[in-house]
Amino acid sequence: MSKTANKKVVCEKLIEYGKKDRDIVALTSDSRGSASMTDFGNQLPDQLVEVGIAEQNIVGMAAGLAASGKKPFITSYAAFVTMRAIEQVKVDVAYSNVNVKIIGISGGVSYGPLGMSHHALHDIAVMRAIPNIKMIMPADRYDTEKLMEELVNYEGPVYVRVGRNAVEEVHQSADYEFEIGKADQLSGGSDLTIIATGELVSTALKAAELLEEDDLDCRVINMHTLKPIDEKAIIKAAEETGKIITVEEHSVYGGLGSAVSQVVAENHPVPVKVFAIPDEPAVTGYPEDIFKEYGLTPSNIAEKAKEMFD
């Protein structure tokens, strides 16, 4: 599997579409380098708006740009744009329902060594609670490419979280169907379903491979869209496999696990095991260290999955 950072794909696609549509505007908050948006600035300088370190302003201005016919894409740190500017996201973007795309970069524990200030482990919970705005976490470069294509053609508020680092591909090629709001089933299976989101989908796939060795047939679902979440796919998984595991780079509160549990509990109660970051300031270190600390690894997920069959 080759590895590519999703944020690079975001920039490549924004340049590609920005050249075709001059109303596409990228906004940065001193985040050009971090967001891999330097190329965009170099190639399309008239379509880049740099606001400096001012997250409230980046969102407010994007709302004004959108209301005046521009197609703004904010590329700003997930940790800050979904906290510092959350009222602007709620009121200026979601409530006014304007065509602003927010790409939260370096999400999750991408900035693992930098501490809780720079961790973005709250954004699924926060963004899901705001009406009108969709939330998406692409798993790999193919998801990101297809998502960007959908985003330029979709009119309305969307929040996207990507990580900082290169991620493994979970698709063999671009030859699959990607649709906002529709779960992407990566493998069939009848014993257990692992539902994962974002850049931990590859971890879920590896856990499933380990479980195959124990003759456990796993369904793996890439739940790239957290809102609107694909309830049908979740209910179907509960009905057909009877056990569900969720895997996410997010707080255990209000994330994928919470969302899936709600759907399962209301529609077809089956055991659900949630793999996420516990309610504490996450340990610091590189992402791999943090995932290991909290058991977000293929071996631990597989081991705990087997216990569900005891």
Partner 1 sequence: MDKIEFLTEKAAQIRRDLLKMIVNAGTGHTAGSLSNTDIMTVLFYEVMDIKVDDPDWDDRDRFILSKGHSVESYYTILADKGYFDKEELNTFCQYKSRLIGHPNNKVPGVEMNTGALGHGLAIAAGMAKAAKMSKKNYKVYTLMGDGELAEGSVWEAALAASHFKLDNLVGIIDRNNLQITDNTEKVMGLEPLAEKWKSFGWEIIEVDGHNYQELINAFTKSSEIKGRPTLILANTIKGKGVSFMENKAEWHHGLPSEEELAQALEELSSKGEVI
Using the minimum distance from each CB to partner 1, give the nearer residue, 55 or 191: 55
* Structural tokens at position 150: 């959908």
For tokens 């991408």, the residue is 110
- Contact code string over 95-134 relative to partner 1, x by CB under 8 A: xxxx------------------------------------
Q: For partner 1, which is the closer residue by CB, 6 or 88?
A: 88
What's the min distance (Å) between Cβ of 119 and partner 1? 23
The Cα-based distances of 215 to 208, 218, 304 in angstroms read 10, 9, 15
Sequence-ordered alpha helix ranges (H) in 199-255: 201-213, 231-241
Q: Which is nearer to partner 1, 40 or 178 (CB)?
A: 40
Residues 28-67 that bind partner 1 (CB under 8 A): 46-47, 49, 51-52, 54, 56-57, 59-67
**Cβ count within 10 A of residue 289:** 13
Q: 173: exposed, middle or buried (C-beta count within 10 Å: 0-12, 13-18, 19+)? A: exposed
Nearer to partner 1 by C-beta: 87 or 155?
A: 87
Among 25, 121, 151, 162, binds partner 1 (CB under 8 A): 25
Q: Which stretch binds partner 1 (CB under 8 A): 36-44, 83-91, 260-268, 287-295?
A: 83-91
Task: Find the shortest distance in angstroms from Cβ 75 to partner 1.
Answer: 16
Nearest approach in angstroms of CB 23 to partner 1 is: 8
Site string (167-186) toward partner 1, x via CB under 8 A: --------------------
Based on the shown chain and the rule CB under 8 A, indicate whether residue 91 belongs to the binding site for partner 1.
yes
Rounded to whole angstroms, the Cα distance separating 282 from 280 reads 6
Judged by CB under 8 A, the residue of 19, 21, 87, 266 near partner 1 is 87
Shorter beta-carbon distance to partner 1: residue 34 or 56: 56
Q: Measured from the CB atom, is 45 or 173 closer to partner 1?
A: 45
Return the CA Rg of the chain: 19
Q: What residues contact 219, with CB distance under 8 A and at least 6 apart?
A: 185, 187, 188, 189, 190, 192, 193, 194, 237, 240, 241
Angle at 298 between CA 297 and CA 302, to 5 degrees: 120
Strands of the sheet containing 192-196, edge to edge, are 184-187, 218-222, 192-196, 244-251, 272-277
Closest CB 257 distance from partner 1, rounded Å = 31
Q: Which is nearer to partner 1, 61 or 78 (CB)?
A: 61
Instruction: Write the single-letter amino acid at 86.
Output: I
Task: Name the minimum Å distance from CB 140 to partner 1.
Answer: 33
Q: What is the size of the binding site for partner 1 (CB under 8 A)?
A: 32
Q: Select 59 or 252, whichever has its Cβ closest to partner 1.
A: 59
Q: How far is CA 46 from CA 19, 32, 43, 49, 151, in A?
A: 11, 15, 9, 8, 21
Stretch that binds partner 1, among 12-20, 92-100, 227-235, 270-278 (CB under 8 A): 92-100
Peptide bond into 228 cis (omega under 30): yes
Phi, psi of 300 (to 5 degrees): -65, -40
Q: Which residues in this chain contact partner 1 in the complex, by CB under 8 A?
A: 23, 25, 46-47, 49, 51-52, 54, 56-57, 59-70, 72, 87-88, 90-92, 95-98
